[in-house]
A and B are shown apart, each in its own frame.
Chain A
Amino acid sequence: MKRVMHLMLPTVGLGLALLVWWGASLKVPDLPSPVRTWEESRIYIMEPFVKRGETDQGIALLAYYSLIRVAQGFLLGIVIGTPVGFLFGVSPLITRMFDPLMQVMRPISPLAWLPLGLVLFQKSEPAALFAIAVCSMWPTIINTMMGVRAIPQDYWNVAKVLRLSRTTTFLKVIVPATLPYMFTGYRLSLGIAWLVIVASEMLTGTPGVGGFLWQEYNSLIYAHILLAIITIGIIGFVLDRLMGLAEARLRAV
């Protein structure tokens, strides 16, 4: 019974959402109904890997482009963010030096970073990576920093008493103790990277789910906007879950 409810309740919720969508589509003439959205999007879903044109491609291919871009930007973000987080964690001096700057830079929207990236790199691809990296690294920095600060005094004492070298202390005490926090940071960073990708593709018009969304809006094919939105949501959810699994495995240790 409990199992049935476990499956039933989300299904009911989904059904209600579809109902609201359908109701809204009756009122707003431009909004396609769920059924029409499915019919107009079917070719993208049923032939997910077919490439018909620069932006007219199967949804899986579009998602693949976006994911590659996100992966690059995200990796860049955590490659920079992780060591910076460790540095902030171990050195109160450096934290005090850069904390105000970080607090100011953190709330800046990806839409604001992107033009700066275009100025810096002259091309849309590196500008998009720049925006993703800059926006997504904050949770990694902050969580890594907090993780280092949360290391119990006992572990520092072990390092001191065993007279571990700096390198050994870092690799065998600080990093393992911080790992769960780091992964929380990575999960949040990936979430942000996925948010940024859509915005940056829309602005630069590069092929991908976000680029597709913007192009279909300009071509007045509204059903495809909904297809893109749903795809973005599902991929974001799956990414979060995958990172959550990795995180849970680390915490279990």
Chain B
Amino acid sequence: MAFIEVSGISKSFTAATGTVRPVLRDVSLSVERGEFASIVGAMGSGKSTLLSILAGLTSADRGSVMVGGTTVRGVRSDAAFVFQNYSLLPWFTALENVRLAVEAAFPDLARQAQLAQARHALEQVGLGNALNRRPGQLSGGMRQRVAIARAFATNPEVLFLDEPFGALDALTRETVQQDLVRLCSSAERPVTTVMITNSVEEAILLSDWIVPMLPGPPATLGAPIAVQLARPRSVAQLAHEEDATHVRGHVIATLTAALGGRARRMPAKPDEDPVAPVALATEESR
């Protein structure tokens, strides 16, 4: 069994008015230990809901989520999370923000040792000279580096990334992305990562697998697309590489096919399954 094993989860939200809005339907996913999987889809397609369910922040209506062989009920102690923004506490310094995570994960550790571990994590992302600055005094990229340092400071086995680079400008984005790649590969134990993003480019740069999210509602997942490109990768190199172009085309085709399928389906035949032709296309190209 894969390290992360999601089978048949569905989720609906009930609005205050009483209308039920289905968000996810019959979503399954497996990620092997140490792999990096990206779920790519448009904004508002249900990606965040899916990630919240994987991380144990929300529970699914149906289906099961297993991580490391145990069913997910609540946030796991070996999991870490990086959000798009506002995930640092503005009243604490960078060091205190990271130490808080270390303290929560290792409550028996002496305060000095917690501080040392937090400092080490921040040095890993090049923030050794900004330890005592508050988030308000840091640039967006630096803030996200603090968030990444905080995630790795507890030596996690699973990493959930919710659009972690979404708020950054293009130049900052790549340097922070490379920080993440470096930390993932230099971690003491293999880190299994699930990232959600709306950037195909970002997914190709970072992932072993790309899973397209096909918009609903309710949303479903397309067949995973392997990204078998040598590492280390860089944005510049990926722009020219033929394999990267192939993957990019494949992902975009899958996503647009789903959109087209939905557009065609909605007025005419509401029962037609928009997933089928897309899944077929994925099989062919493999």
Contacts and interface: CB of A to CB of B under 8 A. Distances in A.
A42 interface: no
Interface stretch (B21-29, B75-83, B225-233, B258-266): B75-83
A253 B91 contact: yes
A164 interface: yes
A160 B89 contact: no
Interface stretch (A30-38, A97-105, A168-176): A168-176
Contacts of B57: 157, 160-161
B100 A164 contact: yes
A158 B100 CA distance: 10
Nearest to B56: A160
Interface string A152-184: 101101101111110010001100110000000
Contacts of A158: 83, 87-89
Nearest to B107: A165
A164 B75 CA distance: 11
B91 A163 contact: no
A51 to B, nearest CB: 46
Given A160-B57, A163-B104, A164-B100, A154 B87 contact: yes
B55 A155 contact: no
Interface in B235-263: none
Contact of B75 (A154, A155, A161, A176): A161
Q: How large is the interface on A (under 10, 10 to 19, 20 to 34, 35 or more residues)?
A: 10 to 19
A242 B125 CA distance: 42
B101 interface: yes
Q: Is the interface of B mostly helix, strand, loop or mixed?
A: loop
Contacts of A164: 100, 104
Given A157-B57, A168-B104, A172-B100, A163 B75 contact: yes
Q: How large is the interface on B (under 10, 10 to 19, 20 to 34, 35 or more residues)?
A: 20 to 34
A162 B80 CA distance: 8
B74 to A, nearest CB: 8
A184 B83 CA distance: 30
B81 A161 contact: yes
Given A161-B55, A161-B75, A164-B104, A176 B91 contact: yes
A154 B83 contact: yes
Contacts of A165: 104
Nearest to B151: A161
B90 interface: yes
A162 B100 contact: yes
Interface in B74-132: 75, 77, 79-81, 83, 85-92, 100-101, 103-105
A173 B97 CA distance: 11
Contacts of B86: 152, 154-155
B83 A155 contact: no
A160 B100 contact: no
A165 B104 CA distance: 8
B77 A155 contact: no
Nearest to B97: A158
A252 to B, nearest CB: 9
Interface of A: 152, 154-155, 157-158, 160-165, 168, 172-173, 176-177, 253
8 contacts: A157-B81, A157-B83, A158-B87, A161-B57, A161-B80, A163-B105, A168-B100, A172-B92
Give me the 7 closest cross-chain CB pairs, A-B, nearest first: A154-B86, A161-B81, A176-B91, A162-B104, A162-B101, A164-B104, A163-B104
